[in-house]
Structure 1
Amino acid sequence: MANLYGSICLSDIPREVMKKVMTSKGEKIFVNISIGEKKEPITFGNRTYTHYVSCAPKKDERVEGVFYGIGDLMESNPTPVAPSPEDVNNAEHLGPADDLPF
């Protein structure tokens, strides 16, 4: 599974979707968000954004005509590191598979 990373624009978050919540650490401001996959990826330079982040107000709190998108995300697929031939040659020999306890 790919990890997603990117950024959000804090100044694009509509103030009306920010909720003050009292937590055990004091008053905090929360924004409900949604992450979705773009129908068509968007490429800027060497970056291809495949997902988006948007504010996710409750249905009855949405305002027609307000754009709730606040950022774009791209996939980060960790590249597995294959052992070098030298690593394979220097690996400890474990013996035949029938020595295994299962």
Structure 2
Amino acid sequence: FDKEVADMEQGKASVEAKVEDMEQDKALVEAKVEDMEQDKELVEAKVEDMEQGKALLEAKVEDMEQDKEVVDMAAVLVVSMDLGNLMLCMNYILIFVNKIN
């Protein structure tokens, strides 16, 4: 009878050790899930930063296109001016320069 009790106690200890191992495995899995959630948040933040950067670049391109239009208009005025309307063209150029700034 003592041998059976000893075997049962050994079996109980073995099951308890197995449960403890499973609890440790569960804790490791939970930690890994938490790490993955943090990684997901970092990736989402990076995507948001990239989208903001894209929007800034698009705005800069639009500004450059507007500046190019102003410069093109000023170039047309400069090319077409003659001595008779030099002052008039200079006024237009100043208006366009102020528009750029």
TM-score, normalization by structure 2 = 0.21
TM-score, normalization by structure 1 = 0.21
Higher relative contact order (CA 8 A, sep 6+): 1
More strand by share: 1
